[in-house]
Structure 1
Amino acid sequence: MSQSGIGYIDQNARSNWMRLRTLVTVRWFAIAGQILALIVGKQLFGLQLALGPCAAVIGLSVIANLLAVIIFPDNRRLSEAETVSTLVFDTLQLSMLLAFTGGLNNPFALLILAPVTIAATVLPARSTLLLASCAVAMISTVGLTYIPLRTANNSLLEMPVVFVFGFWVAIVTGIIFISIYTRRVTSEMTSMSEALLATQMALAREQKLTDLGGVVAATAHELGTPLATIKLVSAELMEELKETKDLYGDAQLIREQAERCGEILRSMGRAGKDDLHLRVTPWSALVREAAEPHLDRGKNVVFTFDGNLEFDLDQPLAYRKPEVIHGLRNLIQNAVDFAQTQVRVNISWSDTEFFVKIFDDGPGFAPQVINRIGDPFVHRRKRSKKNGARPGYDGMGLGLFIAKTLLERSGAALEFSNGSAGDPLRGAVVRGVWPRQKLEAVDLPTGKNRPIEIS
């Protein structure tokens, strides 16, 4: 589970994404191509082919496809073991067909790469390695044991040994390269896809929390009048029922419970109804709001103002965008996680830009990954011996990816570095800069406040 509370798909579960129908369809195309190649070789070029064994091998694929279609439903998802078995069967079938049609002298030997490519795309590393090893073993066997190709006049069709050996080396190299390269690219694409999904979910969650706070506050506001009426009527009843002890106690209880309801509602909401003016806030207040959940986690979080005053009357107003709040919250959370005792958040602004700079006194970013900060699933930030493992989290890569994605979407430019020798906080430093036109609330919202409606 990530620091944002979002679960992720196990990489090994991706093998269950392969549909049986997909492999069956691909195999039908392969069967058609193999039959066509035999017909062309026999009729057009007059090659002497072992048609009986070749037909038997192709027949195995036809039988396998028919059984798969009859026994299993079209939408059947194959497990890892089933996918491996299917691809090993296809590799063996192609190897046998090559052995009956010239071995490595057959240019179609290159097709042995197809099952390996599929495996590297959808299967875990161990299964890809198994299939690649099988492919290398089979193509090596075919290179040594095969029925040679002959023309109509019984002439032998064979390449020089050095070319055959070079072809074998090229195929084996291709198997290894495609296995590694395709697997790496597929893993990165899957990680990026999952991380982008996590970003969208985090933003949606932040928006829902913001809306929920407004709903609660709107409830407190709207119920204020009826609760006040209940309190007033109950007070009048208490005056009239002084002589009746039981009824007086009931009226007093009604008043006390109405007051308690009011206190509960006031404590649950902070923002009133959907107040148009609460859609904007001073820049420093926005950063403080983002940091609020991490102010009581045992680290000293200090706010400073470089060249600006917190209560400057000319302080710009910013829109309370959920992506900005959530992104800054993740950056501050990361600093608090790795800090030893202190985090400093520097807030400033100019005529053209908003600035925020987050320092901590932790060990800082590892030099070998500092240029990759913000990529999903980077887990190599150094940890101090004093703090040990990061408290309560698996790693820092996904949180920073979410923060970087959300903040850059809002117009921010982020820089990640380590503190200088002259700074008492020599840990990690994250600097964010926004053009004022991206966040500044120039035209304040106007119109009537609207209650939040729940559908």
Structure 2
Amino acid sequence: MTTQHAVSLAANIERLLSVRALLLTALLLTTLAVHYGFELPLPLAPLLVVIAALALLTVGSWWRVRRRPQRLREGELLWQLVVDVAGLTALLYFSGGWTNPLVSLYLVPIAVAVIMLDRGRTWIIMAMTVAGYSLLVLYHRPVVAVEHHHLDSFTLHVAGMWLTFVLAAGLITYFGTSMVNLLRAREQALAAEREENLRNEQIIGVATLAAGTAHELSTPLGSIAVIASELADQSEGAQREQLDMLLAQVATCRDTLGRLRMTASGEQSAPPLPVDELFEELGARLALYRPRSRLQLSCNGSGAAPEIRPEPTLQQALLNLLDNAAAASEQPVECRVHWHGDALEIDILDQGPGFQARGGGSGAMGEGMGMGLLLANATIERFGGTVSLRQREGGGVHVAIRLPLHALQASA
């Protein structure tokens, strides 16, 4: 049995136990009201013994479900309903049998079985209720006659029928609505899972393409580096500066491809790094990508900067978000890093045109923001974090990233 299935089974049993607890409470109050309120002598001792036994069994089952849900088996729901039918039969036996208007409560376990059990087990419960009802016709302890009571037997019977209807309708409604809510929650979970699988398929496709691209670009980048180096040696002045910038950009590309190959091969040799140093490195890499951009970095928090594992995919995700902010804004980009407790908060703020000026979507922060945001969000969610985007007053976008430090320090 999978963990998800065990959790679902435990939730169903808890709902069943809640129905039983409500039913036992109603039966106890009814028994006391009839015996003391209407002054009809009932065999209180056996009735209270049966109710107490069912209550103890309910408490024990609840404890077992809460403490040891992994030990639950498929037949648990069936046995719980068998207990309900047997307990109701015992209560009816001591209180008039089939003449007791509460005999219609047999419909409650049938309704629950229809909702929760398969066809075979539902027929077992149905057969048990029919057998219990039939036995009560032949064997039961009659209630003492009430000829001299201020209420005649027909009035009491009608009142009992009304009470039975109220109890059955309330319990079936409670259980039915609970199951509907559970089914809706399952549908939402399945829809979210399908969405995640679709997104993962897109990411796998991008990763496959990236791996092939890294292999194909190695040779052209090497050739560009050699030719640019030779030209730089023969040049002076502004042309030399431009070629030096080109060589720096080529070196950045080769470094990026090297990290991509390292990640694909599973190599994780980078030592732990303080958070502030990591963002200083990301700022330096951003300056190579966009020499004209300016990053205003501030790092602070409670205590010294925590050390985290500089996982390549996380670095790339953060760099993508910084790069998109720099591409959208000619003004300096602010990056505020704050740590406290187990939380790492990263806020990236640009002064660009924002969402509306670029089409209104969250993927319009900058060039290539759609795929960049998709990959960054998927990576950050893999570490248990979240990414949210908000329009800034006066223009620009605020990207808020929240990450749990323990996930980033797992292998640090």
TM over 0.5: no
Q: Which has the higher helix share?
A: 2
Please give the TM-score of this superposition, normalised by the length of structure 2.
Answer: 0.42
Q: Which has the higher contact order (CA 8 A, sep 6+)?
A: 1
Please give the TM-score of this superposition, normalised by the length of structure 1.
Answer: 0.39
